[in-house]
Structure 1
Amino acid sequence: MVLAALTEEGKLVELPQQDFLSVVKQAQEEGKTVLQYVQSITDSKEGLPYSMEELDLLTPIEAPEVWAAGVTYEKSREARNYEATGGKMDASTFYDKVYDAVRPEIFFKSTAARTVGPGQGVQLRSDSEWQIPEPELALVLDSSGTILGYTIGNDMSCRDIEGENPLYLPQAKMWKRSCSIGPAILLADSVENPYDFQIACRIFRDGEKVVEGSASTKQLKRKLDELVSFLKRDNELFEGTVLLTGTCIVPPNEFTLAGGDRVDIEISGIGVLSNPVLAAQ
Structure 2
Amino acid sequence: MGSALTAGDILPQEADALLVGRVWDEAAAGPSPVLVDGSSLRDLSKLAPTMSALLELPDLIARLQDKSAYPLLGELDEYISGSKGLLLAPCDLQAVKAAGVTFADSMLERVIEEQAKGDPKRADEIRARLAPVIGENLKGVKAGSDKAAEVKKLLQEMNLWSQYLEVGIGPDAEIFTKAPAMASVGCGAKVGIHPISDWNNPEPEVVLAIRSDGQIVGATLGNDVNLRDVEGRSALLLGKAKDNNASCAIGPFIRLVDKSFEVANIGTLDVSLKVTGDDGFEMSGVSHMSAISRSPETLASQTLNANHQYPDGAMLFLGTMFAPTKDRRGAGQGFTHETGDRVEISSPRLGSLINWVDRTDRITPWTFGIGALMANLAKRGLL
Q: If the TM-score is normalised by the length of the shorter chain, which range does it land in?
A: 0.7 to 0.9
1:188 aligns with 2:257: yes
Contact 1:67 1:110 in 2 (8 A): yes
Amino acid corresponding to residue 271 of structure 1 in structure 2: G
What is the aligned counterpart of 1:14 among 42, 67, 70?
42
Contact 2:34 2:41 in 1 (8 A): yes
Counterpart position of 2:343: 263
Matches within 5 A, 1:141-156: 141-156=210-225
Counterparts of 1:13 and 1:275, CA distance in 2: 21
Matches within 5 A, 1:24-103: 24-25=55-56, 27-28=57-58, 32=59, 34-42=60-68, 50-51=75-76, 55=80, 56-86=86-116, 87=123, 88-89=126-127, 90-91=129-130, 92=160, 93-103=162-172
Paired positions, count: 273
Amino acid corresponding to residue 347 of structure 2 in structure 1: I
DSSP 3-state at the match of 1:215: strand
Amino acid corresponding to residue 140 of structure 1 in structure 2: A
Matches within 5 A, 1:114-193: 114-189=183-258, 190-192=260-262, 193=265
Q: Cα offset for 1:101?
A: 0.4
DSSP 3-state at the match of 1:57: strand
Residues 180-239 of structure 1, C-alpha deviations (whole Å, 9 max, x = no match): 111100002242311121101111111745111111211111011211221124222132
**Does the C-alpha gap of structure 1 residues 36 and 257 become closer, same or farther in structure 2, counting only changes over 3 Å?**
same
**Does the C-alpha gap of structure 1 residues 143 and 262 become closer, same or farther in structure 2, counting only changes over 3 Å?**
same
Matches within 5 A, 1:242-257: 242-252=315-325, 254-257=334-337
Contact 2:193 2:358 in 1 (8 A): yes
Larger radius of gyration: 2
Counterparts of 2:182 and 2:296, CA distance in 1: 26
Contact 1:63 1:242 in 2 (8 A): no
Contact 1:199 1:266 in 2 (8 A): yes
Q: Cα offset for 1:69?
A: 0.4
Q: TM-score, normalised by structure 2?
A: 0.66
Give unpaired runs (5+ residues) of structure 2: 1-24, 26-31, 81-85, 117-122, 131-159, 327-333, 362-383
**Does the C-alpha gap of structure 1 residues 3 and 207 become closer, same or farther in structure 2, counting only changes over 3 Å?**
farther
Q: TM-score, normalised by structure 1?
A: 0.88
**Does the C-alpha gap of structure 1 residues 54 and 15 become closer, same or farther in structure 2, counting only changes over 3 Å?**
closer
